[in-house]
A and B are shown apart, each in its own frame.
Chain A
Amino acid sequence: QQQVKQSPQSLIVQKGGISIINCAYENTAFDYFPWYQQFPGKGPALLIAIRPDVSEKKEGRFTISFNKSAKQFSLHIMDSQPGDSATYFCAASHLWGGATNKLIFGTGTLLAVQP
């Protein structure tokens, strides 16, 4: 019940196309859903995050769509660029009964944007 399932495992998109990565969760206590981007040799970096009180959040070319009833959320990258080629992780958390920054991560999606 603590898992976050992420798909696809890998994704190839043409430059200028839309990249879509999906995540699903079971634990209805989760109330914070960030997406992290990781380049080779680097640690993950926060891209965008959403809470269940909104169904969509947009920051530049990156949009999170959230479906609370389906317990699913997705990342859309518009106008994908070669520089977006990286591994993307969805994550989820709740406060586990107290203050914490603990995150449960999805398994990751390796995105390759072809020029």
Chain B
Amino acid sequence: KAGVTQTPRYLIKTRGQQVTLSCSPISGHRSVSWYQQTPGQGLQFLFEYFSETQRNKGNFPGRFSGRQFSNSRSEMNVSTLELGDSALYLCASSPGTSGGQETQYFGPGTRLLVL
């Protein structure tokens, strides 16, 4: 099976712009989670989607949003970018068959640089 794919891999934006990142989960996986990874804060949970519904959310401002499509592909959007949003954004997929606490399979991430 193909792994989790994320596009684009690298992105440069300026403050105030918005950005959309895409994640394609492993075929058959229905749960997609997003994490932000920075040197200072480490890996922080953004949100999780399952069957097109957000079923958990981290402590990030409303500028961060996401959605999931019927084919389980997911997108996250960050509006009004700030310098502090520069990070590696990781997507992880799980089967979604056992009610949670499943092995998560991470993609390689999208590295976002905000200038």
Closest beta carbon of chain A to B113's beta carbon, Å: 16
Select A99's contact among B58, B100, B104, B107, beta carbons within 8 Å.
B100
Write the A94-108 contact mask toward B (1 if CB under 8 angstroms, else 0).
011011111111111
The answer to whether residues A44 and B106 also contact, given A89-B43, A99-B50, A100-B55 and a CB cut-off of 8 A, is yes
- Whether A46 is near chain B, meaning CB under 8 Å from some CB there, is yes
A12 at the interface (CB under 8 A from B): no
B45 in contact with A102 (CB, 8 Å) = yes
Within the complex, which residue of A46, A96, A98 is in contact with B104, where a contact is CB–CB below 8 Å? A46
User: What is the 8 Å Cβ interface bit string for chain B, positions 56-88, against chain A (1 contact, 0 not)?
Assistant: 101000000000000000000000000000000
Chain A neighbourhood of B58, CB < 8 A: 102
Question: With contacts A93-B101, A108-B43 known, what are 5 further pairs, Cβ within 8 A?
Answer: A42-B108, A45-B106, A89-B43, A98-B55, A101-B33
If over half of A's interface residues share one DSSP class (helix, strand or loop), that class is named, otherwise mixed; here it is loop
In the assembled complex, A115 has its CB within 8 A of some CB on chain B: no
Complex contact B48–A105 (CB within 8 A): no
Chain A interface residue bracket vs B: 20 to 34
Which of B42, B44, B104, B107 is close to A101, meaning CB atoms less than 8 Å apart? B104
Is there an interface contact between A100 and B100, defined as CB atoms closer than 8 Å? yes
In Å, the complex CA distance between A102 and B94 comes to 11
A60 on the B face (CB < 8 A) = no
19 A-B residue pairs with CB within 8 Å:
A36-B106, A42-B106, A43-B4, A46-B104, A46-B105, A89-B42, A89-B43, A93-B100, A95-B100, A98-B100, A99-B99, A101-B56, A101-B94, A101-B104, A102-B58, A103-B33, A105-B43, A106-B42, A107-B42
Enumerate B7-59 residues with CB–CB distance to A below 8 Å. Answer: 31, 33, 35, 42-45, 48, 50, 55-56, 58
- For residue A103, which residues in chain B have a CB less than 8 angstroms away from its CB? 33, 43, 45, 104
